[in-house]
């Protein structure tokens, strides 16, 4: 089954304790992205990656890191979490490149709800 898998789905942590949210897709997609969703603010893009070893900042990258060492994985790293990073996080993927198959349709994970105390 084609899917995007995020872990953990729920996490409560404390300020300053490094954490990683993993994201894996099994569709051989080039493009992967992280979003955070907050009430009244919609979806905001944190980082995205067009392919292996190619990453770029989105709209709200401060306090986050990412890496893309393999095509299927795109972990989100919070080196020193703060309470303002309490949010619902989504990973998404899609085809990229100049192909008639690529129309930009995103496949989303189920979300990771993070609480930083």
Pairing of the two strands 4-7 and 76-78: unpaired
**Cβ nearer to another protein, comparing 62 with 104:** 104
Minimum CB separation of residue 110 from another protein in Å reads 5
Distinct helix (H) and strand (E) counts, the chain: 0, 11
Query: Which of 60, 74, 94, 116 touches another protein (CB under 8 A)?
Result: 94
Rule CB under 8 A: which residues touch another protein?
Answer: 4, 31, 33, 40-43, 45, 48, 50, 90, 92, 94-98, 102-111
């Amino acid at each position: 089954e084609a899917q995007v898998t995020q872990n953990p789905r729920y996490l409560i942590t404390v300020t300053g304790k490094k954490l990683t949210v993993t994201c894996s897709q099994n569709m051989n997609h080039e493009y992967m992205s992280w979003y955070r969703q907050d009430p009244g603010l919609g979806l905001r893009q944190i980082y995205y990656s067009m392919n292996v070893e190619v990453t770029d900042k989105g709209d709200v990258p401060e306090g986050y890191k990412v890496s893309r060492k393999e095509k299927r994985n795109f972990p989100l790293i919070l080196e020193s979490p703060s309470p303002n990073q309490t949010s619902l996080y989504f990973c998404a993927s899609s085809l990229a490149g100049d192909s008639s198959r690529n129309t930009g349709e995103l496949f989303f994970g189920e979300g990771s709800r993070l609480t930083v105390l």
